[in-house]
Amino acid sequence: MNDHARTTGSTFIDASEQEMANAIRALAMDAVQKANSGHPGMPMGMADVATVLFNRFITIDPSRPDWPDRDRFVLSAGHGSMLQYALHHLVGYPDMPIGELQRFRQLGSRTAGHPEYGHALGIETTTGPLGQGIATAVGMALAERMLAARYGADLVDHYTYVIAGDGCLQEGISHEAIDLAGHLRLSKLIVLWDDNRISIDGPTSLATSMDQPARFGAAGWNVSAVDGHDAEAVAAAIEQARRSDKPSLIACRTVIGKGAPNLGGSEKTHGAPLGLAEIEATRANIGWTYPPFELPGTVMRAWRAVAIRGQAARTAWERRHQSTPQREAFDRAIAGEVPAAVFEALASFRSEHFEKATNVATRKASEMALSIINAATDLPVGGSADLTHSNLTITKDMGKIAPGTFAGRYVHYGIREHAMAAAMNGIALHGGFVPYGGTFLCFADYARGAMRLSALMGQRVVYVMTHDSIGLGEDGPTHQPIEHLAMLRATPNLNVFRPADIIETAECWELALKAKDRPSVLVLSRQNLPMLRTMAPGANRSARGAYLMREAVGRRDVTLVATGSEVEIARAAADLLHERHNVRAALVSMPCWELFEEQDSAYRAEVLGKAPRIAVEAAARMGWDRWIGERGDFVGMIGFGASAPATDLYRHFGITAEAIADAALAVTQKD
């Protein structure tokens, strides 16, 4: 083994891979014991596989953890986080001293219970919710191929390695992800499956009889199966996987908690400390004589050789980078700065359609804005979960991503909302692109797990969610969102935009592109909507989250607050109130609650006013009381929708100018 390691570029090895792996085992069991919380079984079981992977293959430079052409490593089985933290300490990430491992799972440490993107260098993605890692890695591997197609193998040529557990492969998202990866032939994606046959409840045979290798084979993957404690077998399988023209699954048969003489192989090692007695017995069993958190120099030197090998690769890459004419374009893509020309073009677009008073569905307005954006920058990578011509997410000359063909900019994600969201996370995390993808708003339900991670990781992922209310009509209640706006607005660090017309739609696209540390959801209508803007479109009014679209004439008796397709109806209600009842209503459009919350209280008070308020949205009331106040009321949906033409539904559910006016009259009389 030493010989092999030498041949892959290490300069001096004086510890066997067995000892290197035992260092992981010791760190994992000791840190979990000290925290009195955590999962020792997986790190101990996969220590040998991880050692071979890092010692012989992975190219990373811990001194430059954001080097663009590094290999990506994703610990999909995120509960085994001590495996990652042990590796990070051993290869010498500067922010991972032994003290961090001693503070495993404590407040403010870098060693959170599950790997958290941004908490420590080298963590490529947040994992923990099972299956997210493998699906995110599909996006990373896709981004690698797309970036290589643009900038060539001199600049972009790296692998994406995943360690996945039984849970990752049982979750539905894994199906969507491996189908997509197999279809696109993402040959540089290599998944090492910890085939330990144990899950939390006990043996996996309690709940599954799946032939995983056959399943991956059916999805077009290259498959092998090895003894996960046989380093040479693991290495041979990885070698073979790197040469394959398909993505690869390596089933690594392992013993969970390997090394623990009494508990090894049992679910008892999965999610609880081994206990001091078993830890002592394990030390004896594996011949590890060092105290907790102490590592011998021989082992440390062996591990640091991984970093030295990576550093050499990185400096070689930098030389290539210096000499390539594509350097500046590549660097701009990696920086992810949307060019100013995009925003200038969007400003012209707003002026033009303000003049024309263009009436279109906001999904159509989004398509028109995207045409402008995609013509002015090639950062965006679009797609849809098989609703391209409903979501209107494709624009001219984008070029399609297809099996083995990665020069395009549009991904047919298939009927796979969850994998689409996770893949977009991976594309954003990888760098070089701004991913956006479409589905119906109602199917945010299917993508929830990954959308939450977009927000938690602060990634610029843009969700284009059309058919955003009962306005979609005949498809009925299964397709009509009710609680979805509340669900998304309640999610921290996520901007939810519901524009009312073509001007706001362009504004919201601009804001989504500018929000570099936050995902955005564009919530768009199926039905046509008039251009409502009255003020000249110079300033981006949506940027403050809500604004006075039309002040009341003379005095303000009531304020009507609405979003999206209901702003038009609220405007009609305001007219009706004035004409028939001499009640003066101000009209507020509120395309983004989150941005409005960020405004100072003076602005918010000015917009909301002191008169009673009626909020109007064809969705659940949840959350609106914040803006309505105690004297106001809400016009929207009480229960689920129904199947009928949209205009019938608005009437049936009482979301009409007349109903809004009645509600306004009731609160103004109360007043």
Residues 91-110 that bind its own copies (CB under 8 A): 105-109
Cα–Cα distance for residue pair 285/278, rounded to 1 Å = 10
Q: Distance between CA 518 and CA 498 in Å, rounded?
A: 16
Beta carbons of 88 and 53 less than 8 angstroms apart: no
DSSP string, 536-587: -TTS-GGGGS-EEEEPPSSS-SEEEEE-THHHHHHHHHHHHHHHHH---EEE
The answer to whether 490 contacts its own copies (rule: CB under 8 A) is yes
Query: How many residues does this entry show for the chain?
Result: 671
Sites for its own copies among residues 356-415 (CB under 8 A): 384, 386-390, 400, 402-403, 412-415
Should residue 419 be labelled a site residue for its own copies when binding is judged by CB under 8 A? yes
172 interacts with its own copies by CB under 8 A:
yes
Are 31 and 282 contacting, i.e. CB atoms less than 8 angstroms apart?
Answer: no
Does 352 sit near its own copies (CB under 8 A)?
A: no
Q: Which stretch binds its own copies (CB under 8 A): 141-149, 249-257, 601-609, 644-652?
A: 644-652
Helix, strand, coil shares, percent, the chain, to 5? 50, 15, 40
Point out the catalytic residue in the list 124, 417, 510, 568. Answer: 417
Is residue 629 within the footprint of its own copies (CB under 8 A)? Answer: yes
Instruction: Give the number of other Cβ atoms within 10 Å of residue 175's Cβ.
Output: 18
| 670 touching its own copies, by CB under 8 A | no
User: Least Å distance between CB 474 and its own copies?
Assistant: 4
Shortest gap between Cβ of 467 and its own copies (angstroms)? 12
What is the residue whose two structure tokens read 């290539």? 320
- Taking the CB of residue 436, how many other CB atoms lie within 10 A of it? 28
Q: Which of 3, 328, 600, 630 binds its own copies (CB under 8 A)?
A: 630
For 146, counting Cβ atoms within 10 Å of its Cβ (0-12 exposed, 13-18 middle, 19+ buried), the class is buried
* Residue in the structure block whose two tokens are 């990576």: 310
- Please report, as residue ranges, which positions from 423 to 462 form the binding site for its own copies (by CB under 8 A): 442-443, 445-446, 448-449, 452-453, 455-456
Write down the least CB distance from residue 526 to its own copies, Å: 12
Q: Which of residues 10-49 bind its own copies (CB under 8 A)?
A: 35, 37-38
State the DSSP string of 163-216.
EE-HHHHHSHHHHHHHHHHHHHT-TTEEEEEEE--EETTEEGGGT----HHHHH
Token code pair at residue 270:
């999965």
As a whole number of angstroms, the distance between CA 614 and CA 349 comes to 32
Q: Least distance from C-beta 227 to its own copies, angstroms?
A: 22
Nearer to its own copies, 354 or 634 (CB): 634
Which residues between 580 and 619 bind its own copies (CB under 8 A)?
A: none
Q: Is 88 in the site for its own copies (CB under 8 A)?
A: no
Q: In sequence order, what DSSP letters do the residues of 124-155 get, joined into one string?
A: -S---STTHHHHHHHHHHHHHHHHHHHH-TTT
Which residues between 200 and 219 bind its own copies (CB under 8 A)? Answer: 200-201, 204, 206-212, 214-215, 217-219
The reply to whether 620 sits near its own copies by the rule CB under 8 A is: yes
Q: Point out which span in 22-30, 426-434, 501-509, 625-633 binds its own copies (CB under 8 A).
A: 625-633
Comparing CA positions, the residue from 631, 595, 637 lying closest to residue 497 is 595
By rule CB under 8 A, what string of x and - marks binding of each residue 60-79 to its own copies? ------------------xx
Per the annotation, the verdict on 417 as an active-site residue is yes
Residues 521-580 within binding reach of its own copies (CB under 8 A): none
Nearest to 532 by CA among 658, 365, 372: 365
Site residues (CB under 8 A) for its own copies, limited to 311-350: none
Report the alpha-carbon distance of residue 66 to residue 122 in Å, rounded.
8
**Minimum distance from residue 68 beta carbon to its own copies (Å):** 26
Rg (CA), the chain: 28
161: contact with its own copies by CB under 8 A? no
Of residues 184 and 567, the one with the C-beta less far from its own copies: 184
476 part of the interface to its own copies, by CB under 8 A: yes
Binding mask 103-142 toward its own copies (x if CB under 8 A, else -) reads --xxxxx--xxx-x---------xxxxx------------
199 binds its own copies (CB under 8 A): yes
Of 92 and 545, the one with the shorter C-beta distance to its own copies is 545
Q: Which is nearer to its own copies, 261 or 477 (CB)?
A: 477
| Helical residues (DSSP H) of 203-337, grouped into ranges | 212-218, 231-243, 276-286, 297-323, 327-335
Closer Cβ to its own copies, 113 or 654, answer by number: 113
Distance CA 297, CA 505 (A): 60
Catalytic residues: 417
